[in-house]
């Protein structure tokens, strides 16, 4: 049997996983962007790393306001969020050179939303062959780089 080493996971295993309040509002209101993995802030939204990524570089664009549906976005917030999606694509292309992207929102628990009350747009970089036998035979997803290393690359490319 081969072993899969992921020593950075110990911090997650030993942590208190339940955060009080909204994780996105907590990140927005934090003074420590690196601790909360906030990569970029704008007038109406911010970009944050997903701490449970599907792939290396999985980020999210989140409105600063705590809202549960895109139908509650003001026109200037809609435009800002979509501009941040485009900026994020450019940054990810520069920093980690993916071959494609999955971009979208999960609205409601039935749709797979892990955080239902604060909308966010997922941007997941993809590479040919990134979906392989590991999730099927061992229920394990291999992430090729630590989240902190990816954070540093993306933060620099965003100009931070």
By annotation, the residues acting in catalysis are: 120
Q: Are the C-beta atoms of 46 and 28 separated by less than 8 Å?
A: yes
158 phi/psi in degrees, rounded to 5? -75, -10
Angle at 46 (CA atoms; ends 45, 52), nearest 5 degrees: 130
Write out the H or E segment, with its range, that includes residue 50: none
Residue 82, SS3?
helix
| Residue 121, strand partner residues | 61
Q: In the chain, which ranges are E strands?
A: 38-41, 45-49, 59-63, 100-104, 121-126
């Amino acid at each position: 049997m081969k072993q899969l080493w992921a020593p950075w996971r110990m911090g997650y295993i030993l942590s208190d996983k339940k955060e009080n309040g909204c994780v996105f509002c907590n990140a927005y209101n934090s003074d420590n962007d690196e601790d909360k993995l906030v990569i970029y802030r704008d007038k109406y939204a911010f970009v944050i790393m997903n701490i449970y990524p599907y792939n290396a570089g999985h980020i999210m664009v989140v409105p600063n306001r705590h809202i549960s549906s895109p139908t509650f976005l003001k026109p200037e917030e809609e435009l800002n969020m979509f501009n941040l999606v485009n900026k994020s694509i450019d940054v990810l292309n520069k920093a980690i050179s993916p071959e494609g992207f999955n971009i979208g929102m999960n609205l409601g628990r039935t749709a797979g939303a892990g955080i239902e009350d604060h909308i966010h747009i997922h941007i997941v970089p993809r590479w040919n062959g990134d979906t392989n036998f590991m999730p099927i035979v061992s229920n394990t997803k291999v992430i090729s780089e630590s989240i902190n290393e990816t954070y540093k690359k993306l933060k620099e490319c965003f100009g931070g």
